[in-house]
Amino acid sequence: MKKVGVAILGLGIVGGGAYKILTQNRDFYCKTQNVDIFVKSVLECDKARIESLGVPQEQIAENIFEIVSDPDVNIVVECIGGITDARSYVIDALNAGKTVVTSNKELICKYSHELERTAKRLNAGLYFEASCVGGVPIVRTLLDGVQSNKISSIEGIINGTTNYILTEMSKEGVGYQDALAAAQRLGYAESDPTADVEGFDAAYKLSILSSLAFHTKVPFSKVFREGISSVTPEDISNGSDLGYTLKLLAVGKDTGDGIEVRVHPTFVKKSHPLAGVDGSFNAVYLTGDAVGEVMLYGRGAGELPTGSAIVSDIIYAATHEGSRYSTFKNNATAEKDVKFVSDFASAYYMRLDVTDRAGALAKITAMLARKNISIVELLQKSNGAESATVVLVTHSTHETAIKNAVSRINASGVASVRSVIRVLS
């Protein structure tokens, strides 16, 4: 039976989960996959973590050079996160001809071109299922499940932290800060939650997934990004009254005008499959020209779900000869002939404070009409003291049109726009 030695760099949540799965299921993989996958070594500076996982002394490596020079190590798993050390260690492993499996979304998003170039030179494998959407097998689906299709769109809830926060705000009626604090207590959010709540994490993942889906490099710099820190319970409640649920949505489209990639809070009709994805769960909704709509759903983070994705890549690498690389020119930047859409089209939710006097609403609708913006739904709530709150949802229009209309309304003296949120058409 073929024997495959694995080294794990970092035994945090993801690396520790992969270690547990590999050690507990070794006999199972021998039986079902006809390959003996064993942990040869680990690199971890936290001795308490090593002890808690019961790592034998003989598996503990002193440094990366000990690992990459070991002929019994075939696959190196990078789970340390960050960029500087992770990038250096992965390149060292690839230069030694080792296949690399990583969960590092930022590393793959920003440096996959460099890593893949090194891997190709040594005919080494580079796998990154765990970098996107935890235990949901979206990367493998794009590579090996729907490759017969031209994918026209990918829409997803791909960050568990923000989905938990928005679910709490929606179901419990709490404010953003209280929901964030709850997410931090449960370990869903870091003490510095910026990467999650401001959309960086989702944008890294969307860059990776859109590149795979549309077979062209989609750099992180091309992703429009807006976080959830300014979302209010009032907007969530208003949206619910209109039949919508609020999600931080990642949207990628291959349109006739170019590629459109964006991450932002989005109102989703309650009848849409993505609307029911709550808590820390994630989901990705694909549209292909042959298969139609496909949705993958599951846990987007956590020790065992993400560890499962790591081990899935290990098994795939161990049971397949040769290595597969990108189906596109994987450079640092996009190809010159690839167009990106910045003035994207969407429906929009707007909440306005309006002077409660005759003709005010007519003036607002007239200003919108001048930008060819029409209204689908409208609610008006009196606030007393000669003011009212107006909530409206537009037909599909363009980002620049909405921004221009908001500027005109705010300068009119009859209303001020308090929030603008995109709506999934």
Residue 380 in contact with residue 390, Cβ under 8 Å? yes
To the nearest 10°, report the CA torsion of 141, 329, 127, 220. -80
Q: List the structure tokens of 358.
A: 């005759």
Give the number of other Cβ atoms within 10 Å of residue 374's Cβ. Answer: 12
Separation CA 18–CA 15 (nearest Å): 5
User: For residue 340, what is the DSSP state?
Assistant: B
Separation CA 239–CA 223 (nearest Å): 25
Separation CA 394–CA 368 (nearest Å): 9
Phi, psi of 112 (to 5 degrees): -60, -35
Catalytically annotated residue among 205, 222, 253, 371: 205
User: For residue 163, what is the DSSP state?
Assistant: H
Q: Helix, strand or coil for residue 82?
A: coil
Give the number of other Cβ atoms within 10 Å of residue 404's Cβ. Answer: 15
Residue 134 in contact with residue 305, Cβ under 8 Å? yes
Q: List the structure tokens of 130.
A: 């765990």
Catalytic status, residue 3 = no
Closest CA to 239 of 387, 84, 379: 379
Half-sphere exposure of 187 (CA within 13 A, CB side): 4
Separation CA 261–CA 221 (nearest Å): 10
Residue 274 in contact with residue 282, Cβ under 8 Å? no
Closest CA to 198 of 176, 213, 174, 170: 176
* Helix, strand, coil percentages, rounded to 5, for the chain: 40, 30, 30
- The residues that are catalytic are 205
